[in-house]
């Protein structure tokens, strides 16, 4: 289980240096968890219990549209934090479900543990603020991309920024995330390969 925390610390330290006391606090409050493929980790209609860090594996956040069809709103792989962040932070009922697309190794922390580390850790508060700003920017960029880029441009951007996703995630989740019909994404992929 040590590699869970080593991966986590390496990820965090790309942004700021963690003192040993903060690392120890993380070991105390984060719980390692192995989750099998196709598990719904958090369900829509409930308050998210955990803030998750993907050590390895692929996950998505999805909600149901007015027709009851799944819409993938976030798609990612480790190492990375992955949660219905705003609902977790505010402890409100989420309209999103968290789905492990593949087997996943996770570290997770409860809201109580999160609040303790932010209040008492030397770097947790700064990191939480930076993470929040990054998530806001990603959401804004995704909205802009959906409004201004063609389907092909959105797919090419995904391939450039997250090349492992098209190799490891089913087409139906990728097309939903990009706002493209599966058959259109299949055609785009065929045309790019020819």
Same-domain status, 174 and 109:
no
Q: What is the CATH number of the domain that holds 99?
A: 2.60.120.10
For residue 153, the enclosing domain spans: 149-194
Is the CB of residue 65 less than 8 Å from the CB of residue 71?
A: yes
CB neighbours of 162 closer than 8 A, spacing ≥ 6? 76, 77
State the Cα–Cα distance between residues 124 and 102, nearest whole angstrom.
29
Residues 131 and 162 in one domain: no
pTM here is 0.88
Rg (CA), the chain: 17
Helix axis angle for 151-161 and 182-193, nearest 10°, is 70
DSSP conformation class of 13: T
Position 140 in a domain: no
The verdict on 25 and 100 lying in the same domain is yes
153, 130: one domain? no
Residue 144: inside a domain = no
Structural domain contains residue 141: no
Contact 99, 59 (CB under 8 A): yes
Q: Which of 135, 158, 185 is at the close of a domain?
A: 135
Residue 27 located in a structural domain: yes
Write out the chain's pLDDT in tens, 194 residues: 789 999 999 998 888 888 899 999 999 999 999 999 999 999 999 999 999 999 999 999 999 999 999 999 999 898 998 988 889 989 999 999 999 999 999 999 999 999 999 888 878 777 777 777 887 888 888 888 888 999 999 999 999 999 999 999 999 999 999 999 999 999 998 888 87
Number of domains comprising the chain: 2
């Amino acid at each position: 289980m040590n590699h869970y925390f080593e991966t986590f610390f390496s990820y965090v330290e790309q942004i700021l240096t963690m003192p040993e006391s903060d690392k120890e606090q993380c070991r105390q409050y984060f719980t390692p968890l192995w989750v099998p493929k196709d598990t719904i980790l958090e369900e829509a209609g409930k308050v998210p219990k955990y803030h998750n860090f993907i050590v390895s594996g692929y996950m998505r956040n999805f909600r149901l549209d007015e027709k009851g069809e799944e819409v993938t709103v976030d798609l990612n792989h480790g190492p990375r934090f992955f949660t219905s962040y705003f609902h977790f932070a505010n402890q409100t009922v989420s309209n999103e479900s968290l789905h492990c697309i593949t087997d996943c190794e996770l570290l997770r922390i409860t809201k109580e543990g999160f609040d303790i580390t932010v209040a008492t850790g030397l770097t947790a508060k700064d990191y939480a603020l930076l993470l929040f700003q990054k998530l806001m920017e990603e959401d804004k960029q995704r909205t802009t991309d959906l409004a201004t880029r063609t389907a092909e441009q959105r797919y090419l951007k995904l391939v450039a920024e997250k090349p492992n996703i098209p190799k490891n995630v089913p087409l139906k989740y990728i097309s939903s995330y990009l706002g493209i019909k599966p058959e259109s994404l299949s055609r785009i992929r065929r045309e790019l390969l020819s």
